[in-house]
Amino acid sequence: MTNEELQTLVKTISIDVFKKPFLHQAKHNPRLRTTGGRYMLADHTIEINPLVFKVHGMDELVGVIKHELCHYHLHLEGKGYRHRDEDFRKLLNETSSPRFCKPLAAQNKKSTSFYIYECESCKLKYKRKRRVNVQKYRCGKCAGAISIQINK
């Protein structure tokens, strides 16, 4: 879908669902990673992640556009346009817009690697995701010196 087609779709949805014109620009933004779209307060632009259409299809794209148009119209009217505002939640329900976008890609689970430290005195083991400066810290149980045992 091109930016011109997206612009036409946003204008059509704005008139059909909100009964108000969309007078600004709508465009694709492939740099969006975790969100389906966003509304820019400064210039009233709506940016849509092109993956929404590729991954989930037209229905999800229309939902994301309706969600961003809720922000757009409420902001221009001077009403509460943020997710936590009552005006925003009310307009979402009235237009049957989704509150959240479906996940666009499988979340990259960080590797389960961790560091295992061991007290040299009492042999208590400590599992940590982050590296610890063993010169700076001591065992919490016996105040003994800590050494790294395994770096997984």
- By annotation, the residues acting in catalysis are 68
CA-based torsion, 48, 49, 50, 54: positive or negative = negative
Which residue in 58, 42, 5, 43 sits closest to 27, CA to CA?
5
